[in-house]
Amino acid sequence: MTSNKLRIGIIGAGRIGKVHSETLAFRLPDAIPLAIADVNLDAASEVAERCHIPRVLRDHADILKDPEVDAVLICSPTETHADLIISAARAGKHIFCEKPIDHSLSKIDLALQAVKQARVKLQIGFNRRFDTNFARVHNAVTSGELGTPHLMHIVSRDPAPPPLPYIRASGGIFLDMTIHDFDMARFLAGSEVESLYASGAVRIDKEIEKAGDLDTAVIVLHFKNGMIGTIDNSRQAVYGYDQRVEILGSKGAIATENRFPNQVTLSTGSSIQRDLPLNFFMDRYAESFESELSAFVQAVLHDKPVPVTGQDGRAATVMALAARKSVELRRPVQLEEVGHSAP
């Protein structure tokens, strides 16, 4: 490092690229967004103007060969992630990459090998780990506060399905949506999953079925520490963005509820009411997006381990592929059936 601030190049000016650019520009004093690249130059220019990013590029290669850039944020479509990780590692850049690394374990392994050989840092964007509520649940389990963990239930439901073109390219609900819950399950349990059973259906929109995907799913997880977990997913919860967790242990239980725009409860002679939960993940997890980038910046500046590794990204992908296989075969799947050991 040649500066006391981390100089960052951003690859991708879409929805998440905008969020991360604003965080770097306005909320992380130890970071400097130096350049942004996107094939849509207008989109990149718009973000750059709002966030005072001095360099706007069409080709990400110009960021990777820039000696002033210390690290890159990969916010481009999933199918580009693994190749960009490899290129960035070979260029000697530290890397923050949005999930998933790839839909293919072989490509993930190539990317992780490149990172290992280059001795750069790689953090994967599983932002929910940085939510203060979920972090408290994690601490209750790993500290022994709950005793021996017995049961876990994760509820993760979106307010509405994404556009059909997105669904067609997403890799399916398990690799796109549930992958966050798979990572949360490992994180909260403090244990790896041995096997899982997944069941899915199309209950919301038949066009999703035509696109080859599901919109409703339940997954049962068996952990190496003996805990049993369930995840329930829906692409449509009409009341808002539904994100809850409960864990039962031998000494008690811990649970998180949804976040609301306010804490007001209205009580009348006919009903007790409150406002609906926050309706968009950008609102629900605004603080966690900032916290995960702050952790990455500090890890690079002070040469500390990143809190969410490439191996964490790989493990969640193995679980997603196992869930897809379980639905296809209609039986439980051992994770070792899907993915060999990581390199």
Residue 100, both tokens: 């998933």
Fold of 6-120: Rossmann fold (3.40.50)
- Report the alpha-carbon distance of residue 16 to residue 164 in Å, rounded: 19
Domain residue ranges in the chain: 6-120, 132-283+315-337
Structure confidence at residue 240 (pLDDT)? 92
The pair of three-digit structure tokens given for residue 49, joined into one six-digit string: 């103007």
323/212 Cα distance (integer angstroms) = 15
Question: What tokens appear for 212 in the block?
Answer: 């080859």
Tens-of-pLDDT digits for all 343 residues of the chain? 556 899 999 999 999 999 999 999 999 999 999 999 999 999 999 999 999 999 999 999 999 999 999 999 999 999 999 999 999 999 999 999 999 999 999 999 999 999 999 999 999 999 999 999 999 999 999 999 999 999 999 999 999 999 999 999 999 999 999 999 999 999 999 999 999 999 999 999 999 999 999 999 999 999 999 999 999 999 999 999 999 999 999 999 999 999 999 999 999 999 999 999 988 777 888 899 999 999 999 999 999 999 999 999 999 999 999 999 999 999 999 999 997 655 5
Residues in the chain: 343
Three-state DSSP class for residue 217: strand
Give the global pTM. Answer: 0.94
Main-chain phi, psi angles of 97, to 5 degrees: -125, 135
Nearest to 326 by CA among 209, 200, 208, 203: 200
What is the structure's pLDDT at 341? 55
Cα–chain center distance at 269: 43
Write down the H helix ranges in the chain: 15-26, 41-51, 61-64, 78-90, 105-118, 132-142, 164-169, 173-176, 178-189, 206-210, 281-284, 286-301, 310-329
Three-class DSSP category at 182: helix
Which tokens belong to 137?
């649940």
DSSP 13: -
Written as six digits, the tokens of 322 are: 């196992």
Residue 274 and residue 60 in contact, taking contact as beta carbons nearer than 8 Å: no
CB atoms within 10 A of CB 148: 12
| Backbone phi and psi for residue 311, each to the nearest 5 degrees, phi listed first | -70, -35
pLDDT tens per residue, range 242-283 = 999 999 999 999 999 999 999 999 999 999 999 999 887 778
Asked if the domains 6-120 and 132-283+315-337 are classified in one and the same CATH topology, the answer is no
Query: Position of tokens 């409150």?
Result: 274
CATH architecture of 132-283+315-337: 2-Layer Sandwich (3.30)
pLDDT of residue 280: 77
- Find how far residue 254's CA is from the centre of its chain: 23
Angle at 47 between CA 42 and CA 278, to 5 degrees: 120
pLDDT of residue 340: 64
pLDDT tens digits, residue range 292-323? 999 999 999 999 999 999 999 999 999 999 99
According to the model, what pLDDT value does residue 321 have?
97
